[in-house]
Structure 1
Amino acid sequence: MKRSIPFRGTVALMALAFVSVAAPLPLAQPVAAADECLCAGGEYHPLTPVRIYDSRPPGINDVAPLGAKPMGPADPTFDIQLLGLGGVPSSATDVLAVAVSITIDGPASAGWLAAYPAGSSGTSSLLNFSARQTVPNLAIVRGGAGGKLTIKINGAGNGTANVLVDVLGWFSSSTYNAGTTDNPSDERGARMVVVNPGRILDTRVGTPTPLGPGAQRTVQFRGANVAGVNVPNDSSVVGALINVTAVAPTAGTFVSVVPNMPVGAPSTSNLNVAAGRIQANLVLVPVGADGAIHLYNSAGNTNVLVDVLAYLQTGAPESTRAGRVVPLTAPYRALDTRLASFGGVPLGPGQAEDWSFAAFAGSVNIGGQAVGNQSALLGNLTNASLSRQYPTVSVEPGYLSVYPADSATVPGISNLNNYESGPVPNMALVKYGANQTVRVFNARGYAHYILDVSAVVLAD
């Protein structure tokens, strides 16, 4: 039986936005680009996750002032090296963008964190956090002056916070030079194949099998054919883009997703979750030689959900554009339902609404020329607030789902889990439906949400 979803009265349309792409990629429309070399432009090179920055003693590539970094209403900033570390090439002409996981740890007060190329400015938040909370998020970032990344930490009050940065992989430019020191094997990267979202692991189903302290779980990725997800069982599938959710751990813990079965605790993490809380994070991870990805839970018992959004596959014809990822010059705020221009009304419990991204997709350009067809966007989705349906009854934790607007039903996945207690961010891959429309569904309470777009996925 189809689920009936109450919709708002009107379909909101995005205003036209002229958004520039940072990539050195051929400018012409796909039909006019046959004679131009797309080469490895916008292709992804997965890396075994590695921590390239940690302000906690003894520190990893820390910068002055050593240790926890200042935060406060004045938005203090600091720069860290991005290019040339963790397997990322050092040449800015080779690297289009870098996929990283950025974590804030133990902030003195509530606030937000932004990350942007050194030498530029940035106002879109990547992380929102409460005092003493540990929050990670995936980001697609570009190196700025000197191959560096600027990190800004806003706080309600003055204090300090620790910051961790893990490198997951990088996207190459069309000028990526094969046969150089940085690319001795003359390898091109992988394309992002966007799928209809589907859940391939839910440890709550049937007899619950939560991960215990120090426990590991193997999840077969190549050949996965569950919940409408069909991943080729082929060695050309080299990476996974998944949304991983930890559900109500019995103790504060971290969850790591790695390509190979870890021996002991991994040196990187993807989720940091307080006891009893539900938290999701988007994860880009290489697929191991066994065709699987591997989960590790640090402490307590926790259920884990894994939702597949895309896979990374090598071997696409050089002349095609499908699956190439190109970042915007700066995050673009595409949605903010708190503003009158987007309706100014929160999305109610069990409600969904559609947004058209046709004008946005048509305006993404390089040097004034449109990049052409697109299948999806990558952006930071933030639940800005969650208010009660009844004043005297608290809202149970809910969730937001974003998916193609022409889907017949709400998919059995979530992008983030929201709370009354404050904003919740999570990077999202948003697949377009017909005419570049997407649907947002809210499970409980009245939710305001924000979407800051950082990259687009091309289509042929």
Structure 2
Amino acid sequence: MRLRHLAGLATATVITLGIGLPLPAAVAASAEADPVFASMGIGSTDGPLEYGVGFDATSPSPIVKKTLDFGDGTVLDVTDQHSATHAYTSEGNYTVTFTATDKDGHTGHYSQVIPASYRPTTYTPVPPSRLLDTRQAGHHALGADQTVTFKVPSVPTATTPIRPTAVVLNVTAVDNNGASFLTAYPAGSPRPATSNVNFGPKQVVPNLVTVPVSADGSVTVYNKAGSADVVVDEFGVYAYRGDYFTAQAPTRLLDTRTSHRVGPDGEVAIQVAGVNGVPADATAAVLNVTTTGSDAPSYLTAYPSGTDRPGTSNLNFTAGQTVANQAIVPIGKDGKVRVYNHSGSTQVIADLFGYYGHGAGAQFTATTPKRLVDTRTGKGTPVGPGATLAVPTGVPTGSTGAVLNVTATAPTTPGYLTVFADKATRPATSNLNFLAGQTVPNHVTTPLGANGAFDVYNFNGSTQVIADLFGYFTK
């Protein structure tokens, strides 16, 4: 990282650190004219909302004290240092001030504004693994307004480990005793006014979750009411090394209702790479997997063909339930993914929404979770039968897609929602299915219209719709 010169001061020191990229030239900076000459430069590191600071000070008299104020209440004594790093817990503009004091009591100051925000990243799929199960020894169910925090490991490589800035998880609520919701967010950050998993009494409800991690790679899960056990499985990470995303118009890859049911301990293979516009070297697929017509409680596990089946699950269901959940699944060397059914028999539907691969594609930028729409507010007008709700996202111009959590609540009849790019032709697929009176969430990766908006179509009856934004894609 090259640190900026102090304009107009020929004696300014340039410090070079190998810790990141320079901030845009528009970043504000100021230095005081004083016997103590202070200089400073700032650049981002490979950590989420983390920045490296290089600094120096000169004076006719020896420098005896140096401090760094990061503008968020953190002040460090850096007398014996020339560089430091700091991670913010929230996006925003922060004024960093470096102060140096010499032996004669003179001080010099240098200030610079950091627009702390998440940067574009790429995706690395990992073998599915269980990070948390509060049913296990040493843990306990989450009570009302309680949280649990867990660590997301770096991804080992042949060179240096990949440090995650965001993680893709499957979060499941089990053994709950009342209606509630779970919210996942970076550890140490303010809890957002959004939700990831909504559930009723005694329901087992999974949902895919994309969430930024803290600087040390930790995530916190919050439970609103009652008590519930929480199971968390990891499927991939976003970082500054990895694969690029290509969104596609939703395409149905599998519907066993036109062939045969998947029986107990049964599996079905799905060809993903090399067909439907997915290149042969694609590394992971974004699927919406639905179970319907099951005759026993069970779960489905999606995993790359040619590998051992992991001890994780993607969606859980009871007999007769129709349940959908998005899954980002690594693709096997034969271009396929497999879906396993544990008990009984069920029909399985799989829709493709995009893929990850090398070379061209889009990068993902995480955001502080943000509620985009809640039709229960204001006049509380639900989305009626056959109606479409257009939702602007406010993401940067040119964004190609968005990562959302979409929830249907208080539906009057059984139905489904379909999410797609605004102004585009509605696809013959669905994102979440529900019965009358249910509250059902689902993680949604959707293309965006040229105006940065997406549409939500309701098939039948009327339902309230909630949509939260977790990030967006740009090329």
Following TM superposition, the consecutive aligned residue runs of length 4 or more in structure 1 with deviations greater than 3 angstroms are 24-29, 36-41, 86-89, 91-94
TM-superposition CA deviations, 1:131-153 (whole Å, max 9, x none):
11111111112222643211111
* CA–CA distance in structure 2, aligned partners of residues 110 and 196 of structure 1: 35
Which residue does 2:469 correspond to in 1?
453
Is 1:222 the counterpart of 2:269? The answer is no
* CA–CA distance in structure 2, aligned partners of residues 130 and 281 of structure 1: 17
TM-superposition CA deviations, 1:260-289 (whole Å, max 9, x none):
3566x6301000011101011010111011
Is 1:325 the counterpart of 2:364? The answer is yes
Which residue does 2:383 correspond to in 1?
347
Which residue does 1:54 correspond to in 2?
133
- Normalising by structure 1, we get a TM-score of 0.74
* CA–CA distance in structure 2, aligned partners of residues 407 and 283 of structure 1: 24
Which residue does 2:278 correspond to in 1?
231
State whether residues 26 and 38 of structure 1, in contact with CA within 8 Å, keep that contact through their aligned partners in structure 2.
no
Q: Where does 1:431-446 land on structure 2 (aligned, <5 Å)? A: 431-446=447-462
* CA–CA distance in structure 1, aligned partners of residues 23 and 274 of structure 2: 36
Query: 1:82 offset after TM fit, Å?
Result: 2.0
Larger radius of gyration between Structure 1 and Structure 2: 2
Which residue does 2:415 correspond to in 1?
398
Which residue does 2:291 correspond to in 1?
246
Q: Which has the higher contact order (CA 8 A, sep 6+)?
A: 1
Residue of 193, 198, 212 corresponding to 2:263: 212
* CA–CA distance in structure 1, aligned partners of residues 153 and 121 of structure 2: 17
Identity value in percent: 32
* CA–CA distance in structure 1, aligned partners of residues 346 and 313 of structure 2: 15
State whether residues 417 and 456 of structure 2, in contact with CA within 8 Å, keep that contact through their aligned partners in structure 1.
yes
Query: 1:345 offset after TM fit, Å?
Result: 0.7
Is 1:374 the counterpart of 2:408? The answer is no
Which residue does 1:33 correspond to in 2?
none
Which residue does 1:97 correspond to in 2?
166
* CA–CA distance in structure 2, aligned partners of residues 104 and 78 of structure 1: 13
Which residue does 1:196 correspond to in 2?
249
Which residue does 2:63 correspond to in 1?
none
Which amino acid in structure 1 is aligned with residue 355 of structure 2?
A: Y
Query: 1:253 offset after TM fit, Å?
Result: 0.6
Q: Relative to 1, partners in 2 of residues 1:248 and 1:67: Cα closer, same or farther, differing over 3 Å?
A: farther
Which residue does 1:120 correspond to in 2?
189
Which residue does 1:299 correspond to in 2?
343
Which residue does 2:395 correspond to in 1?
361
Query: 1:436 offset after TM fit, Å?
Result: 2.2
Which amino acid in structure 2 is aligned with residue 399 of structure 1?
A: Y
SS of 1:294's partner is strand
Which amino acid in structure 2 is aligned with residue 191 of structure 1?
A: Y
Gaps of 5+ in 1: 1-23, 30-35, 59-65, 174-187, 317-321, 363-371, 388-394
State whether residues 68 and 163 of structure 1, in contact with CA within 8 Å, keep that contact through their aligned partners in structure 2.
no
Residue of 86, 111, 119 corresponding to 2:180: 111
Q: Where does 1:113-152 land on structure 2 (aligned, <5 Å)? A: 113-122=182-191, 123-144=193-214, 146-152=216-222
Q: Where does 1:302-313 land on structure 2 (aligned, <5 Å)? A: 302-313=346-357
TM-superposition CA deviations, 1:374-409 (whole Å, max 9, x none):
10110110112212xxxxxxx2x210001122223x
Query: 1:48 offset after TM fit, Å?
Result: 1.3
Which residue does 1:9 correspond to in 2?
none
Residue of 141, 151, 158 corresponding to 1:69: 141
TM-superposition CA deviations, 1:10-31 (whole Å, max 9, x none):
xxxxxxxxxxxxxx888769xx
* CA–CA distance in structure 2, aligned partners of residues 55 and 239 of structure 1: 29
SS of 1:457's partner is strand
**Count of residue pairs brought into register by the alignment:** 365
TM-superposition CA deviations, 1:32-62 (whole Å, max 9, x none):
xxxx99999511011111112112235xxxx
Which amino acid in structure 2 is aligned with residue 161 of structure 1?
A: A
TM-superposition CA deviations, 1:322-364 (whole Å, max 9, x none):
4100100x21001111112xx631111122232334xx023xx
* CA–CA distance in structure 1, aligned partners of residues 364 and 206 of structure 2: 22
Which amino acid in structure 2 is aligned with residue 245 of structure 1?
A: T
SS of 2:184's partner is strand
* CA–CA distance in structure 1, aligned partners of residues 388 and 352 of structure 2: 22
SS of 2:395's partner is helix
* CA–CA distance in structure 1, aligned partners of residues 161 and 22 of structure 2: 17
CA RMSD of aligned residues (A): 2.7
Query: 1:70 offset after TM fit, Å?
Result: 2.8
Which residue does 2:319 correspond to in 1?
275
SS of 2:451's partner is helix
Query: 1:67 offset after TM fit, Å?
Result: 3.5
Which residue does 1:286 correspond to in 2?
330
Which amino acid in structure 2 is aligned with residue 454 of structure 1?
A: F
* CA–CA distance in structure 1, aligned partners of residues 120 and 387 of structure 2: 39
Which amino acid in structure 1 is aligned with residue 123 of structure 2?
A: Y
TM-superposition CA deviations, 1:154-212 (whole Å, max 9, x none):
12x4xx32211111011113xxxxxxxxxxxxxx411010011111111112xx41100
Which residue does 2:359 correspond to in 1?
315
Query: 1:433 offset after TM fit, Å?
Result: 2.0
* CA–CA distance in structure 1, aligned partners of residues 23 and 465 of structure 2: 33
Which residue does 1:16 correspond to in 2?
none
